[in-house]
Amino acid sequence: MSAPLLELDKATIRFGGLTAVSELSLTVNAGELVGLIGPNGAGKTTAFNMITGVYQPTSGSIRFEGNCTRAVKPSKLAYLGIARTFQNIRLFRTLSVIDNIRVAARLHNPQGYFGALWRGKGWKECEAETEKHALELLEIFNLARHRDEEAISLPYGDQRRLEIVRALATRPKILLLDEPAAGMNPSEKDDLMRLIHFIKERYQLAVLLVEHDMKVVMGICQRIAVLEYGRKIAEGTPKEIQCHPKVIEAYLGAAAV
């Protein structure tokens, strides 16, 4: 069997006296949709920040396609194929919708500083290519009519979607979604579930999903890992997780078991 796409091996991170994530071992295979759940403060977003290189694990290791990601910059990891969205939307507020995509697609545009200054034939072709790619993405996700509007002027649901599309523009192998359903109404959540399923199939992506909404998590994840106080307390299929005593205890208290 080939090596997993993403592999956390006893990854631990401490901030002073606080162990935010403790010996987390987790694998995500290519094309798999894995959920990461847990009560507030369990360390889900911190785990994301370790995987994307924002934080370095204090001990343990993280491997992506078999290579250790220690001391690799987040921008480099994005280039290698790890993309993410954020819990609180982080769009480029003064840039237009299409330029938000273009910044992410810039990874695959070989033209740099002097290309932009010289503006030769090669540069024009690359710019046209990038723009075409960005427009295609916007069309697939039904955002093309907003292409020249400022990203920040979009409605909330569209901003969430744009953030996912922007992550896709880096052409990732794994997409990390941090609470994509936060603040959405039930029908938007249904749309989101369809969207996640669609991009996973269409782009052959692995997805790691942090989410509080159990309907979303149970509905689409193939496998779920549960964190509590930085430790993984359970892992399994949605069915197994739903009746796992430790999970019920973590969410509802010991009396509920």
Partner 1 sequence: MPYLGAKRWLFIGIALAVGFSFLAPQFNQYYLGVVIDVGIAIILAVSLNLINGHTGQFSLGHAGFMAVGGYFAAWLSLEIGGNAKMFFPLSLLAGGLLAALVGLLVGIPSLRLKGDYLAIVTLGFGEIIRVVAQNTEAIGAASGLKGIPKFASLGWTFGFAVVTIYVVTALVNSTYGRGFIAVCDDEIAAESNGVNTTRTKVTAFVTGAFFAGIAGGLYAHHKQFLSPTGFDWLKSIDIVVMVILGAALGELIEGLLRIAFGRVPLKGLWSTFGIIAAAVLLTMMTELLRTFSEYRMIIYALLIIVLMLLSPAWLFSMFNLRRERKLS
Binding site for partner 1 (CB under 8 A): 52, 54, 73-76, 78-79, 83-84, 86, 90-95, 99, 102-107, 109, 111-113, 115-119, 123, 126-127, 130-131, 166-167, 169-170
Alpha helices, DSSP H, located in 93-232: 97-105, 113-118, 121-140, 156-169, 186-203, 214-220
- Taking the complex as a whole, how short is the minimal distance between the CB of residue 116 and partner 1, in angstroms? 4
Nearer to partner 1, 22 or 111 (CB): 111
Query: Hey, what amino acid is at 32?
Result: E
**Residues in Cβ contact with 168 at an 8 Å cutoff, skipping those fewer than 6 apart:** 83, 137, 175, 199, 203
Nearer to partner 1, 44 or 166 (CB): 166
- Name the residue with tokens 């273009």: 102
CA 195 to chain centre: 14
- Taking the complex as a whole, how short is the minimal distance between the CB of residue 107 and partner 1, in angstroms? 4
Q: How far apart are CA 54 and CA 106, in angstroms?
A: 20
Nearer to partner 1, 138 or 250 (CB): 138
Nearer to partner 1, 139 or 240 (CB): 139
- Taking the complex as a whole, how short is the minimal distance between the CB of residue 114 and partner 1, in angstroms? 9
Nearer to partner 1, 73 or 215 (CB): 73
CA dihedral 105, 111, 112, 114 (to 10 degrees): -150
Q: At what angle do helices 156-169 and 97-105 cross, to 10 degrees?
A: 20
Query: Is there a contact between 92 and 47 (Cβ–Cβ < 8 Å)?
Result: no
- Taking the complex as a whole, how short is the minimal distance between the CB of residue 99 and partner 1, in angstroms? 5
Cα end-to-end span (Å), the chain: 38
- Taking the complex as a whole, how short is the minimal distance between the CB of residue 137 and partner 1, in angstroms? 13
Look at the alpha carbons of 108, 113, 115, 117 in this order and tell me if their dihedral is positive or negative: positive
Nearer to partner 1, 13 or 234 (CB): 13
Nearer to partner 1, 25 or 75 (CB): 75
- Taking the complex as a whole, how short is the minimal distance between the CB of residue 155 and partner 1, in angstroms? 19
Q: Supply the DSSP symbol for 4.
A: P
- Name the residue with tokens 């401490």: 14
CA 184 to chain centre: 18
- Taking the complex as a whole, how short is the minimal distance between the CB of residue 11 and partner 1, in angstroms? 18
